[in-house]
Amino acid sequence: MRAALSGCLAGFTLLLAGLAQAQGADAAPACPAPYEMRALNLYGAWRAQWQNSDAPAATLQLERHPELGDSVRGRVERDGIAALLAGDVNDGDLTLEESRDGKRISANWIGRVVEGSCGKEIRGTWTDADTDAKRDFVLRRQSGWQ
């Protein structure tokens, strides 16, 4: 009886270890390094502050892109104007395309996840597609998938 119980416990332990390993393959690290960032680390609300500018902050809301599994889509709002966003993060580099009309790119967000920020801060440059005007930004996570 004791041997059978011991064998069952050993099998159960192996099963749990296998499940934990399988879940770990799909789960995001609790504190990802920039190169570990994936789209799911971007899901949620972000606040964009412009560096060296008195322009009002913007808010971004990002979610899973329905057609592109490891990409995001969402919205940005600033100065009472909303625009659509789509993009991804690869090896710590963020690329978002902004569209005010849903048809053409009106601006680009190119940034880098800040080392040691656990994926909660991204710094880069926003570029207006029409005027080529540039603004340095800092994105900070407000809420969402932690």
Q: Quote the pTM value.
A: 0.77
Phi, psi (degrees; rounded to nearest 5) at 56: -60, 150
- At 100-142, the pLDDT tens digits run 999 999 999 999 999 999 999 999 999 999 999 999 999 999 9
Q: How far is CA 33 from the centre of its chain?
A: 12
